[in-house]
Copies of this chain bind each other. A is one copy, B any other.
Amino acid sequence: MITIFGLEGIPIIKAGDDLGEIIVRAAERMGVGIEDGDVVVVTQKIVSKAEGRLINLDEVRPSSFAEEVARSSGKDPRHVEVILRETHRIVKMRGHVLIMETRHGFVCANAGVDLSNVGGGEASLLPEDPDESARRIRRRIMELTGKDIAVIITDTWGRPWRLGQVDFAIGVAGMKPLKDYRGEKDPFGYELTVTNIAVADELAAAAELAKGKLSGIPAVIIRGYEYPKGDGRAKDMNRQQEDDLFR
């Protein structure tokens, strides 16, 4: 049995806030606490806020290329400028859709630069190193509770071929993001040759169900899932350019 708890009562986060402690206190207040083996799933937005990864659009001066892209995409030129600063490579541009490869190696719309849930006139950027952010939150929660846990930081992305968005893992600590079945045999003796499940992404998606977009629940505890132990990173899920058929 796996249980998912959405943590209520987490205040608006500001730069410098101690997310680990805020999460532990919220879990205590709800009577849920933190237990060994829990996966703590945290929305990127509050991690970026705590790390001061917000940018005031009034202070952004768009380049001429940003102005050009803004014209064809119908976006704010300052928003486009911030997107381009976070971009390693443009994967696809059409209409208002800008699919970018970020400096972390993630492929997502707008290079993860988002205007929602941050307040007027600001844009949020992805954490500089979301795996390191996850490690930091994990260390703090383990320090406060003495429990051995995993931490996942999530963002909400669209997918090719399929409508709608789901949450993905962009930072991971205390677990491996992939559960590898390759070489194992099914009950009929057939050897699995490709099965390698992205459980960190499945945990991210599961957590979103308890968060919602407007409910003010930016962190979730998943209890009872035996995650693959080890020192993994979300970056381990980035498919390299040369192995990718769609980039």
- Give A contacts to B, CB under 8 Å: 1-6, 92, 94, 97, 99, 106-107, 109, 115-120, 156, 158-168, 177-178, 181, 184-190, 192, 194-199, 201-203, 205-206, 208-210, 213-214, 216, 225, 236-239, 244-247
Q: Which residues of B contact A225 (CB under 8 A)?
A: 209-210
Contact, CB under 8 Å: A162 / B237: yes
Complex Cα distance A115/B206, Å?
A: 28
A192 and B213 contact, CB distance less than 8 A: yes
In the complex the two chains form, is B156's CB within 8 Å of A195's CB?
yes
Residue in A94, A158, A205, A237 with the greatest tally of chain B CB atoms within 10 Å: A205
CB within 8 Å for A161 and B247 given contacts A118-B188, A187-B214: yes
A-B contact pairs, 12 of them (CB 8 A): A1-B6, A94-B245, A97-B245, A107-B162, A115-B190, A161-B238, A163-B198, A164-B177, A166-B197, A184-B214, A201-B205, A210-B225
Contacting residues, chain B, for A186 (C-beta < 8 A):
116-117, 213-214
CA distance A220 to B164 in the complex (A): 23
Q: How many copies does the complex hold?
A: 2
Q: What is the CA–CA distance of A65 and B159 in the complex, to the nearest angstrom?
A: 31
In angstroms, Cα B187 to Cα A163, docked, is 25
Give the most central of A6, A99, A161: most B CB within 10 Å. A161
Given contacts A3-B2, A189-B120, contact A198 B244 (CB under 8 A): no
Residues of chain B contacted by A195 (CB below 8 angstroms): 116, 156, 165, 213
In the complex, residue of chain B having the shortest beta-carbon distance to the beta carbon of A158: B194
Given contacts A2-B210, A3-B3, A164-B198, 18 further A-B contacts (CB under 8 A): A1-B4, A107-B161, A107-B162, A118-B188, A156-B195, A159-B159, A160-B246, A161-B238, A162-B198, A162-B239, A163-B236, A164-B199, A165-B198, A166-B198, A192-B213, A201-B205, A202-B209, A246-B246
Which partner residue on chain B sits nearest A165 by CB separation? Answer: B197
Q: Which residues of B contact A214 (CB under 8 A)?
A: 181, 184-187
By the criterion CB–CB under 8 Å, are B163 and A196 in contact?
A: yes
Asked whether A164 lies within 8 Å of B197 as measured between CB atoms, the reply is: yes
Question: Least Cβ distance of A78 to chain B in Å?
Answer: 15
**A210 vs B4: C-alpha distance in the bound complex, in angstroms?**
12
